Structure 1
C-alpha cells in the first residue's frame, strides 16, 4: 500500500513538472517543443501576421474580449500574457491552454469555434489598459500583440439653454424645470437606460407628484435624457442625480427653488389656498367709516 502511494505521488509530481517545463519552454521559444502533427503544417494566425499589434478600445466597467485565432494548432498550446512593453523580460502569465494562471478572477479563457482563443476581462478597470500578448508554443516565435485602451464615459447636466450645470441651479417657484443629461464617449454596446433621481426617489416613472416627465434618446456612442418638472415648488428643491445604468457614469446637481413672479399661491396643509390677509380689509373699512362720519 505504501509503495502504491509513493509511486502515485511520484507520477503526479512528474506530470506537474512536465507541465511547468512546457509553459516556460513555450514562453522562451525553447527547443523542447512538441512537433506539429504530421500533415498539418505549422500553426499560423488566421487574421494577422506574427508580430502584429491590434488596437482594441473598451468601456470602463464593461466586459472586454481579446481575440486570438490560430489555425493548424496541432499539438501546440496558446497562452495569453500581460506585458509592459514588447521588450519586457518579465511578462505576467494569464492563461496557458485552458488553464488560468492569474489570481485575478476577472480573467477567463474561452476556446470557441473558428480556432479563437478568447481572453475575457470582466469589469474592466483603468489599470487593465496596456499591452497583451497571445503566443503559440513553437520553435519559431509566433506572437500576436493587442493594445487595450480603456475609455471613461463623460456625463454632464445641461439647462434649457444648453449651458453646463456644475454644482447648483436656481429656478423660480411656479416655473418649469428643464434639465438635460448628456452622456458621451461611449464605445461597445449601446447603453441600457438613464435614471433620474431626486435624493433616493426615482423620477422616470414618478406618479406621486405629477407634472414630471422624462424623455430619453439612446445611441451607440452616447445618450441624452430630458427631465421636465412643471410648476416648480419649494419641495422640489434637493439633489438630482443622473445615472447611466450598466456603466460607471453618474453626475448630480443641487436644485434650489426660490420665490418669484411666477410663484404659485402658498398652500396650507389641507391643499387649499390660504385666505388673503385681513389687515388691508380692516383698514379700508375704517377709512370708509371716518369719511361717512365727517359727512354727517
Structure 2
C-alpha cells in the first residue's frame, strides 16, 4: 500500500454466476465499508469467478475478529473459497538461499527501504557464504547442510526453525536444493521460487547453458509457486531480455541475474500484498 490507512483485503473464488459482485458489495455496505479497490476476473473455461476487494477499516462497523462468522453464510451460499487479511499484520517471510546472493541482496534491500511490507524472521541456507550479509541486516542466519543421505533430517530441522519463527511463507532465493513432496504439502501456494529460464523452456538444471547451446535470441526468468512437480508450479511473473550470437554463457548468466532479481521481487511483493489467486496450476494477479 502506498498510504497509511488501515485496510482489509478479501480474496475469493467461486463458481461463476450472476449476483456475486452484488452479494459481496451488499455485505460490506451493511457494515459501512469504504471500498478502496476492487478487481475481478471470470475464467469462462473453468466457470470460475475470482475477485479481490480492499476496504478501509476506519468506519467499518464489523469487528474483524467477528468477520469470519458474519461472512460464512454468504460464502457457503455461493460456494466461495476465501481469505481475508489485514494491512496491520505483516506476513513473515523466510528466505532460503544457497551460494548465489543476488536475489537475496535485492530482497533485503527492498525490505529495508519498506518496499516489501513484511517481516523476515530468519534466513536458512545449506552453506555459510551469505552469513555476514544476512547478519549485517540484523536477521538470524541458520545453516542446515543438505545431502542425499540426510535430506529428511535436514528438512525436519528446517520445519522446526520455520515453526519457531512463525514463518507464513518461504522464498527460494536461488536455493539450489529440490524440496520434498512433504515439504511442499506443508506450504501450499506459500513457497515462491525463482527459476532462471522462461518456463516451460529449459526447466531443470543449467538452463543458461542449454539456452546458449540452442542458440536462442531471448532468455528469461520465471517466478512460480512450488509444487511437487519440479518447475511446474503456477507461474506468478516472467520477464525476458534479448541476446545475440555475440553473447557467451557468462553473458547470459550476467543478463539473467538482473531478470531474476526483478521477477522474484515482483512475485514476492504481489504475494505480500494479497494480489494473487492460484487455481488450476495457474494464477490471477490482480492490479
Common fold by TM > 0.5: no
Question: TM-score if structure 2 supplies the norm length?
Answer: 0.22
Q: Which has the higher strand share?
A: 1
> Which structure features the higher share of helix residues?
2
